[in-house]
Amino acid sequence: MDARVKPEHDGLGENVRPYPAVYMMSNRRHGTLYIGMTAALARRVWEHREGIYPGFSQTYGLKRLVWYEPHDPISEAIRREKALKHYRRDWKIDLIEAVNPDWDDLYPGLV
């Protein structure tokens, strides 16, 4: 898939349904972290990767999806995002490395 072509269906393939999720973006292993929440994960990660919106993630080049956690209902995703933002950095790193020890970009598995 061409990285400049916006994913269809809110960024999700035909077999994947949109779902609320909390996610972390980074620029490299142990690099800058961004925590966000969205109702359409693949679309939102695509927006980060393409630098669609100016701001923190664009400034620091946060284009690598390193962790995500689906939630339903969306109110649980909002609660989890707020909680994660208050956690210490080392705890966030442990959370990432528990499921993604090499800090691979998880975006290709979403589309």
Distance CA 63, CA 27 (A): 6
For residue 40, tell me if it sits in a domain. Answer: yes
Residue matched to tokens 């695509």: 46
pLDDT of residue 17: 56
Total number of domains constituting the chain: 1
Asked if 24 and 92 touch (Cβ cutoff 8 Å), the reply is yes
For residue 19, tell me if it sits in a domain. Answer: no
**Residue-range definition of the domain harbouring residue 51:** 25-109
For residue 3, tell me if it sits in a domain. Answer: no
pLDDT of residue 7: 53
pLDDT of residue 11: 46
For residue 89, tell me if it sits in a domain. Answer: yes
pLDDT of residue 10: 46
For residue 11, tell me if it sits in a domain. Answer: no
pLDDT tens string for the chain (111 positions)? 444 555 554 444 444 456 799 999 999 999 999 999 999 999 999 999 999 999 999 999 999 999 999 998 899 999 999 999 999 999 999 999 999 999 999 999 987
For residue 2, tell me if it sits in a domain. Answer: no
